Structures are given as C-alpha cells and as structure tokens.
Structure 1
C-alpha cells in the first residue's frame, strides 16, 4: 500500500508503503557527493538538521559514520532540564549512496535508511524508516515528526545553496 501523505513542504513527498514504513523523498540541486557529505560530516550535519521553528538547538553531535560506528545527538530547548538524546549504530555505509542506522533511544525506534541517487544533475534523497510495529509508526506520525523532517530537508536545501 503506497499512499501520499500530506507534507508541509510541497517539494517533500511523504509515503507509507506499509503500516510499518514511512518514506520521505526530496530532490536537491546539488551533486550526490555534496549531499552525502552533508549527512555524513558532523560539522556540516549540525548546521541544518534541527528544525529552526522548534526553537531547539543541537547541543552535541557525535557521528562516526562507518559500519559499526555510532552516533549521539543531544537536542536542547530552554523548556527542558536536560537535552534529549538520540543515538544508535550505523549498520551500512556506502559512500555517496546509502547510510543505514538504528534509533536506539526507544524500544519503538526505527531502522533508518537514507539513499542518495543522481537525478537530472541533482540528488534525490530517500529516507525510509522501518518501525517495529504499526503502533510505533502511528506514534511517530502523531509526534509531528514528518513536519520536522520536511523542515530539516528544506534547511538542507538552503544550506546546499550557500
């Protein structure tokens, strides 16, 4: 079952291929190697990842983007006593093509796969999140994560243009 979900950004497509999978797709006018680097280099990643409208900051960003490497992102907000931590392990890394990681901060964490494909001189990025259950996917949707992802990808587009 593939359905187009509403996206807050018309350049971002959101699809639900199954009751456990959420896919977000966006094209960028930049070569694959630059788009990949924006995802794999922590110094670049931290410049675009957190949606600005959320009023949050990326307090720390540790990424060892290689098979078996780990990541840990801590996101803070003035209303929180402590930053929220997001962390996991890289399962697959294929330079300029694909990054796969776990999301271990919750038992309902998805496996995230990001692919980078050359399209008409630019790059199509596909983010696929496979959740352990349909309920976990529904919780993710209810949290507003799609809006945040769309905003982050819009910020990535702006970042790549500069």
Structure 2
C-alpha cells in the first residue's frame, strides 16, 4: 500500500483508520457460516491462508479457536532453513460474527479483529489490525503484508467457490 489513507485493488479495500489501525475489507459470495468456518477450522484455514506467489508453505497449523485458546502457525520459505513462527491467543470468539487474537511473535504485534457480516446476500469480512505504535504500523506497511493479505483473500474467494 502506498502512503494514502485508503487504497482499493479488486474487491479488497485497505483503510488506514488511524496512525495505529489498518483495516482490510472484502466481500465474498458465500454465507457467513461458511466464511467463518474457513477462518476457524484449521483444516480449511491451511488451504487458503498462505499467499502462493511468495513460495512459502504452511509447515504446521495449530488452532484452538475459542476464547483463551491459542494458535501457532509455522511457515517455511525456500530461502530459510528454519520456519517462521506466528502465534498468539484468541481473546474473543463469537461464532459467525467475530474472532479476535493477539500476535505475540514480536513486541510490535497487533491485535487482530476479524468480523463477519451478512450484506446483500454476501459476507463482508473486515480485518482490523491495531498496532501498539504508529511505528509498528509503518513497519507492517513497509513489509508488503497488505499485498499478501490481498492474495490470501483472493485464495479464500477461490476456495469458497470450489
């Protein structure tokens, strides 16, 4: 994403809501319960989450999607001997409505809130990342993570259509 407050590419909108919050919004032609399940069921999640163009693989995917449950994703890349670990705790889980988790792999990890809402026969997914500082948000933008999120959401759309 560039330095503008909002950008749109395809069906995905990225909004910078403050100096610490970045929100990604996407609609899917599928019912809320199916879209929620794709996020909450590890067997389904692992089929679409990792952007394929990055050459990465999901080495392991452990998710206990309930309040107080934890997750741990290990992602492998051909350029690295060791997988990268992403992990945290689910703060809130409301089936078919919301999943909130921490990102504890660094002290600059965001709190992620994913909401699911029925809109005009589709499901709108809103992914909010609230960072601990403006600098942490800037680092996220510089990393190219928004492009990866867009690709993951494209893959989710294909998964839901299949």
Query: Is the TM value for this pair above 0.5?
Result: yes
4+ aligned runs moved over 3 Å, structure 1: none
Backbone CA RMSD of aligned residues: 1.0
TM-score w.r.t. the length of structure 2 is 0.96
Would you say 1:4 and 2:6 are equivalent positions?
yes
1:137 to 2:137 alignment: yes
Residues 81-100 of structure 1: CA distance to partner in whole angstroms, max 9, x if unpaired?
A: 10000000000000000000
> CA-to-partner distance for each residue in 1:67-124, whole Å, 9 max, x for gaps?
0000000000111110000000000000000000000000000000000000111100
SS of aligned partner of 1:18 = coil
| Equivalent position of 1:51 in the other structure | 51
Partner of 1:120: 120
**Superposed displacement of residue 161, structure 1:** 0.1
> Match of 1:25?
25
Find the aligned partners of 2:83 and 2:105 in 1 and give their Cα distance. Answer: 13
Q: How many correspondences in the alignment?
A: 159
Q: Which runs of 5+ in 1 are unaligned?
A: none
Q: Does 1:89 align with 2:79?
A: no
Q: Deviations over 1:34-69 (max 9, x none)?
A: 000000000000000000000000000000000000
Q: What residue ranges of structure 2 are gaps of 5+ in the alignment? A: none
Which residue of structure 1 aligns with residue 149 of structure 2? Answer: 149
* Partner residue, 2:76: 76
